[in-house]
């Protein structure tokens, strides 16, 4: 789970969110959105109704029946914020076999082999390999151009990956999240690793947003 949503009514969001109807069921240490003016006031009597942020990493919005447009706007903002925070510390490294020096390529290969629980996603002719806060991008067409056997390359990556994602259903499953992140499919293996319990990352950045 990457965030809590506390609401007395059903909220249709991704399975990555812990949707609960009681403060006792929230997961501590991750972002929380409280839905409903009365519920927020009962928990934080002195909260500023004009500020979406109740306190550090805790936010609020009206219920849909109170202010539908405001609810939709704030919920979208919260979801975007949480996913954006998730990827802020994840670095992307494009492995260019033409521009990078041989010594650098060797270091990258060693790094990949030394990472535990690699998650790889195959998208068209790209391999996106995630591990240790890094997404390595490998363009199979580029490697084929310089004479590599790309089938053997894919097989090697497959053999050292904990998860090797090739099904088109993976993209469909993460479609909404990818769109939220600017259509960056490179983050799919990272998101997959979070959802499947390899690492529980939390979003803790405070972003002030006035209503």
Tens-digit pLDDT profile for residues 49-80: 999 999 999 999 999 999 999 999 999 999 99
Cβ contacts of 16 within 8 Å, gap of 6 or more: 1, 2, 3, 177, 194, 195
Contacts 24+ apart (CB under 8 A), 185-188: 185/121, 185/123, 185/128, 186/92, 186/128, 186/135, 186/137, 187/87, 187/90, 187/135, 188/121, 188/123, 188/128
Per-residue pLDDT averaged across 87-92, rounded? 94
Residue 201: what pLDDT? 39
pLDDT tens per residue, range 27-57: 999 999 999 999 999 999 999 999 999 999 9
Distances (CA, A) of 29 to 11, 36, 77, 167, 203: 21, 21, 19, 33, 8
Per-residue pLDDT averaged across 97-124, rounded? 95
Per-residue pLDDT averaged across 194-210, rounded? 48
| Residue that wins the pLDDT comparison between 92 and 210 | 92
Residue 122's beta-bridge partner residues? 127
Is 148 exposed, middle or buried, given 0-12, 13-18 or 19+ CB atoms closer than 10 A? middle
- Mean pLDDT lowest for which of 15-29, 105-119, 166-180? 166-180
pTM equals: 0.83
Residue 198: what pLDDT? 54
User: Taking 80 as the threshold, does the pLDDT of residue 205 lie above it?
Assistant: no
């Amino acid at each position: 789970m990457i965030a809590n949503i506390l609401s007395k009514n059903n909220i249709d969001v991704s399975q990555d969110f812990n949707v609960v109807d009681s403060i006792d069921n929230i997961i501590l240490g991750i972002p929380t959105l409280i839905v409903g003016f009365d519920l927020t006031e009962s928990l934080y009597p002195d909260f500023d109704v004009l500020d979406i942020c109740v306190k550090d990493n805790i936010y609020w919005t009206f219920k849909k029946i109170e202010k539908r447009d405001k609810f939709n706007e704030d919920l979208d903002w919260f979801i975007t914020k949480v996913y954006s925070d998730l990827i802020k510390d994840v670095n992307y490294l494009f492995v260019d076999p033409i521009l990078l020096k041989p010594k650098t390529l060797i270091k990258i290969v060693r790094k990949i082999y030394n990472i535990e629980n690699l998650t790889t996603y195959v998208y068209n002719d790209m391999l996106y390999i995630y591990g240790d806060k890094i997404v390595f991008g490998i363009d199979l067409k580029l490697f084929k151009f310089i004479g590599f056997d790309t089938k053997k390359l894919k097989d090697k990556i497959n053999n050292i990956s904990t998860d090797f994602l090739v099904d088109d259903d993976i993209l469909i499953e993460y479609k909404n999240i990818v769109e939220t992140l600017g259509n960056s499919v490179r983050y799919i293996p990272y998101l997959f690793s979070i959802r499947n319990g390899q690492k529980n990352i939390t979003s803790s950045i405070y972003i002030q947003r006035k209503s």
